[in-house]
Amino acid sequence: MSEECSHNCSECGSDCTDRTAPQSFLAQANEASNVRKVIGIVSGKGGVGKSLVTSLLACSMLKKGFTAAILDADITGPSIPKMFGIQEKAYANDLGIEPVNTKSGIRIMSLNLLLENDTDPVIWRGPMIAGVVKQFWTDVCWGDVDYMFVDMPPGTGDVPLTVFQSLPVDGIIVVTSPQELVGMIVGKAVNMAEAMNIPVLGIVENMSYFECPSCHEKHYIFGDSHIEEMAALYGIAHVARIPIVPEIAAACDSGEVEAINLSSLQELTDILEEE
């Protein structure tokens, strides 16, 4: 045992034979960062709109008067910069890497902000990808941030594990779509969070329905919604549905996600505010 031992094994990284509690893998944030809440946005599979939900939540919290940031942990498929229309690149100073601000002031860090060309492929193995995600926490000068949203890649692999272990995640929001198959995959994401002692704050069903602009009848293009059943099954208290709206897709494609006005996530943002 070291003479400088604080007897707080959970926060100690030393390989000590006298350890009485599990070692903490939490990484130290950059000295120029003060992040109060970290919320992970997860999905069991790709293509369900996880990056959209991440962006909309960050925009919503900003409109509530909080400072917001997005850590784009989807290293091989980073889409956050394009959704916000960001063209500039991140740069480094003596303290670390400076995130790029969106038009409204959301702080963004994504691998595409470091690549010479947005279309350059990232042909890396899992451990290297996970290491970069960790560096986005330790090496980026986030400044004062009330809510950081982490856009994670789909599944339960290296990157989600790195985020859950290395970042002080306060909770996750699961994103899904109406297909019945997704229910099983949602279960994997929820069970992983529970195994890591991360609370599930809510579930969002994207592409839930299409509302006819003429008669306002709802059409369930991808099948009947099962979000209530899944929420009950996994004990998730808060649900939200995002309809199929062509204007949303158009805004994301043109880099104008900040211009989207959507009330569907109001309950979730209220819950985040109360956390």
Q: What is the pLDDT of residues 191-249, one digit of tens each?
A: 999 999 999 999 999 999 999 989 999 999 988 888 888 899 889 989 999 999 999 99
- The three state secondary structure string of 212-251 is CCCCCCEECCCCCCCHHHHHHHHCCCCEEEECCCHHHHHH
pLDDT for residue 157: 85
State which H helix or E strand residue 173 sits in. Answer: strand 171-176
pLDDT for residue 268: 92
Q: What is the mean pLDDT of residues 110-127?
A: 90
State which H helix or E strand residue 71 sits in. Answer: strand 68-72
pTM reported for the whole predicted model: 0.89
